[in-house]
């Protein structure tokens, strides 16, 4: 089952007599889905200086943050939604109201008014074992600070597994909130990033980390 977006709802309801009727119909369907417990994953787009982010949450917390798509960056958001429908639940719907807190905190971060995210995290998409321990270590890196991949590996229980720590960061499903942009190579430079090296450098500069 594919995720149902507002655009698809519009297509289904294009026979509505007016735009106002269409808007009411869409909101009614969303409200009914909320009321009947038919949404397992809610998502919304959030503007950022780098482009639109896609943020998704379950009842347990933020499950996915997809960085702006582009050359050398994360996949288009439609593909991310397909992944969520397969790996979390097919009952997924665009519902910005359910992500008010996440949207607000991300906006405050990009405005320089927030240094720590308080929204809960759903680790469903994180592989257990070393990767999970590594990303939990990443989540503890303070604003404006960096750690090397080797330091993250040590925190996760295997100081030699710095490459595996890099892989964990590369598969981080919740960037920004779990700040893998703060993990850098021991040899210098910023290293790889799902949003591209330019975005990673920009985030570190913004935080005063480098």
Q: What is the pLDDT along the chain (210 residues), one digit of tens a residue?
A: 455 555 555 565 565 556 665 555 555 555 555 555 557 999 999 999 999 999 999 999 999 999 986 555 666 788 999 999 999 999 898 889 899 999 999 999 999 999 999 999 999 999 899 999 999 999 999 999 999 999 999 999 999 999 999 999 999 999 999 999 999 999 999 999 988 999 999 999 999 997
**SS3 (DSSP) at 102:** helix
Distance CA 172, CA 114 (A): 21
Domain boundary among 47, 75, 110: 110
Same domain, 51 and 80: yes
Q: What is the pLDDT of residue 171?
A: 94
Its domain, for residue 157, covers: 130-207
Residue 27: count other Cβ atoms within 10 Å of its Cβ. 12
DSSP class of 4? B
The enclosing domain of 169 has a CATH number of 1.10.10.10
Same domain, 135 and 84: no
**SS3 (DSSP) at 177:** coil
Same domain, 82 and 13: yes
Distance CA 171, CA 168 (A): 5
CA-atom Rg of the chain in angstroms: 19
Q: Which two tokens stand for residue 155?
A: 């925190």
Split into its structural domains, the chain has a count of 2
Q: Which two tokens stand for residue 101?
A: 């807190």
Active site residues: 180
Q: What is the pLDDT of residue 1?
A: 45
Same domain, 84 and 15: yes
How much is the pTM?
A: 0.81
Using the structure block, give the residue that is written with the tokens 């989540």.
Answer: 139
């Amino acid at each position: 089952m594919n995720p149902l977006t507002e655009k698809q709802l519009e297509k289904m309801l294009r026979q509505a007599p007016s735009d106002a009727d269409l808007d009411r119909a869409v909101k009614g369907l969303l409200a009914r889905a909320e009321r009947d417990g038919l949404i397992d994953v809610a998502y919304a787009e959030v503007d950022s200086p780098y482009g639109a982010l896609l943020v998704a949450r379950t009842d347990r917390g933020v499950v996915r943050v997809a960085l702006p798509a582009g050359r050398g960056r994360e996949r288009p958001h439609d593909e991310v939604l397909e992944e969520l429908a397969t790996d979390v639940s097919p009952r997924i719907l665009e519902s910005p109201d359910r992500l008010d807190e996440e949207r607000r905190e991300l906006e405050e971060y990009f405005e320089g008014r927030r240094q720590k995210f308080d929204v809960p995290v759903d680790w469903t998409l994180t592989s257990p074992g070393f990767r999970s321990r590594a990303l939990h270590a990443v989540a503890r890196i303070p604003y404006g600070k960096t750690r090397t991949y080797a330091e993250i590996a040590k925190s996760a229980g295997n100081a030699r597994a710095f490459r595996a720590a890099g892989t964990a960061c590369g598969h981080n499903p919740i960037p920004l909130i779990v700040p893998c942009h703060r993990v850098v190579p021991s040899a210098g430079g910023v290293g790889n990033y799902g949003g591209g090296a330019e975005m990673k450098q920009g985030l570190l500069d913004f935080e005063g980390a480098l």
